[in-house]
Each structure stands twice: as C-alpha cells, then as structure tokens.
Amino acid sequence: MKAWPYPRIVAHRGGGALAPENTLAAIDVGAKYGHTMIEFDAKLAQGGEIFLLHDDTLNRTSNGWGVAGELPWEKLERLDAGDWYGAEFKGEKLPLLSQVAERCARHNMMANIEIKPTTGLDEKTGTDVALAARELWKNQAVPPLLSSFEFDALVAAKKAAPELPRGLLIDSWHENWKALTDELECASLHLNHKLLNEERVKAIKAAGLHILVYTVNNPARARELLGWGVDCICTDKIDVIGPDFV
C-alpha cells in the first residue's frame, strides 16, 4: 500500500457549507474549525491560468455568467465569488491555485486537488494542474493528493508528475474499478459514499487502495464508514464532523 499521510476528515470545497465554496475565505473557515486538510476543484482559464471553481459555468457561484474556461483570467479575476453566498463575503475573488497553495501553507493544511476540467480539456487540465501542483507544493512535507472523475485527466497527471498521489473519483459503481486504478497507479479510490457497503470497502482495501468518500454530512454515517475502514471522510458539515471526529 502506498504512503498515506492524510487525515480522516477533509473539509469539502475549503469550508464546507460554512463559506462560499472554493475561495480563500473558505480555506480560512476550514482552518478556523481546526481542519488539517481541504478538498477543492481546479480548472483552467482561457489563457491557462489555474483557478478554483466547481461548475463549468460561473452562474451559480459568482456574479459572472457563461463558461469560465472560455474567459481570460483578466475578466475572471474581477468577479465576485462571495456575495452569492452571503453579504459578509462580498468582495471574495476566484482564487488562483498559487494563492491557494500559499494559503494552505500558511494554515499548515494538506490539500486534495480535484482536477475539474472544462468540458473537452481533460488532458491539458490534468497535465497543467499536476505540473503546477508539483512546483507549488515542492516545499511542503506532504504532497497534494490529485483526484478527478476524468480518467484522461489522471492519465495526463500521471505522465506529467508521476510522484504525486492520485485518486480516481467515481459517482456510480464501476465493476472495473480495479483495472482503472491499476492503470492509473492510484493511491486511492474516491467514491460517493452511497456506493459503499462493508463488503466493497473490504475489497477495495484488499486491493491496496485507500478510500475517500464524499460528501458525508451525517455523523452516524461517517462513523459507520470509518468503522468499515474508510480512510477519509469529505464533509460539508465541517463544524459537526470536525478534525477530532471519532
């Protein structure tokens, strides 16, 4: 089994449900609640700058509109990514991956970088994010864990920075999970927790993989999953399922 330095609880999109997702403010909120690892979503601007955003479009989580990856960073950086969530976060920006790396280092936080390519840019996003992550985290004791739902993005990440650990994300059950993770030389399999039962956890662990599950907001369910041997719980309930959760 590959080295696994990551904690049991991971704050989803930085600050879970308590802050505008994928912002520096969210990372600060995650840190305020004592979290030692965050997950966030990274994609490319038109000119190749890497920044954080979950959706393909800007519509839900900013005051912008349209496909984010089709816009230059000069436009994206002017948008407000906090006001949609709450007036107290007005003025919050879409962060660059470089700013996120700095903020994680400041809080001594580990990172799960989910590679979330704009449609059609899987390979390029995988390559660019992996190369940037290698550089930006080079002075950190723990490497960022790269993950993606996009197989081709992880193939590209493996080619670009093979030393960075990879996790394949799945939202529906794939009987061929072992072949896919073998090909990618994954450290982990990241699943929607609803796909799991104790038998599946055992099989995945027996294959030498660690398991991260998303998005678990019920403490009883989190306890059950950890009891089965799941390694990491990714949660929006960062105040209830905190870093000391048992």
* Other beta carbons within 10 Å of 33: 17
Q: Is 54 known to be catalytic?
A: yes
**110-115/9-11 β-pairing:** unpaired
Count of residues near Mg ion by CB under 5 A: 2
Which is closer to ligand G3P, CB of 75 or CB of 218? Answer: 218
- Give Cβ neighbours of residue 59 (< 8 Å, ≥ 6 apart): 65, 66
β-bridge partners, 110: 37
Residues that bind ligand G3P (CB under 6 A): 12, 39, 41, 54, 114, 147, 169, 190, 214, 234
Which is closer to ligand G3P, CB of 75 or CB of 151? Answer: 151
Give the closest residue to 177 by CA, choosing from 198, 193, 191.
191
Shortest gap between Cβ of 149 and ligand G3P (angstroms)? 7
Shortest gap between Cβ of 87 and Mg ion (angstroms)? 26
Q: Which does 234 bind (CB under 5 to 8 A by kind): ligand G3P, Mg ion, none?
A: ligand G3P
Shortest gap between Cβ of 136 and ligand G3P (angstroms)? 19
Question: Which residue sits closest to ligand G3P, CB atoms considered?
Answer: 214
Interface residue with Mg ion, options 21, 114, 128, 231 (CB under 5 A): 114
Which is closer to ligand G3P, CB of 61 or CB of 147? Answer: 147
Question: Which residue sits closest to Mg ion, CB atoms considered?
Answer: 114
Which is closer to Mg ion, CB of 172 or CB of 197? Answer: 172
Q: Is 12 known to be catalytic?
A: yes
Shortest gap between Cβ of 214 and ligand G3P (angstroms)? 4
Rounded Cα distance, 186 and 181, in Å = 5
Shortest gap between Cβ of 221 and ligand G3P (angstroms)? 16
Rounded Cα distance, 165 and 130, in Å = 10
Q: Are 238 and 222 in contact (CB under 8 A)?
A: no
**50-52/37-44 β-pairing:** antiparallel
In the window 22-41, what residues touch Mg ion (CB under 5 A)?
A: 41
Q: Which residue in 12, 35, 193, 210 is the catalytic one?
A: 12
In the window 35-74, what residues touch Mg ion (CB under 5 A)?
A: 41
What secondary structure does DSSP assign to 145-208, as a single string?
Answer: EEEES-HHHHHHHHHH-TTS-EEEEESS--TTHHHHHHHHT-SEEEEEGGG--HHHHHHHHHTT
What are the residue numbers of the active site? 12, 54
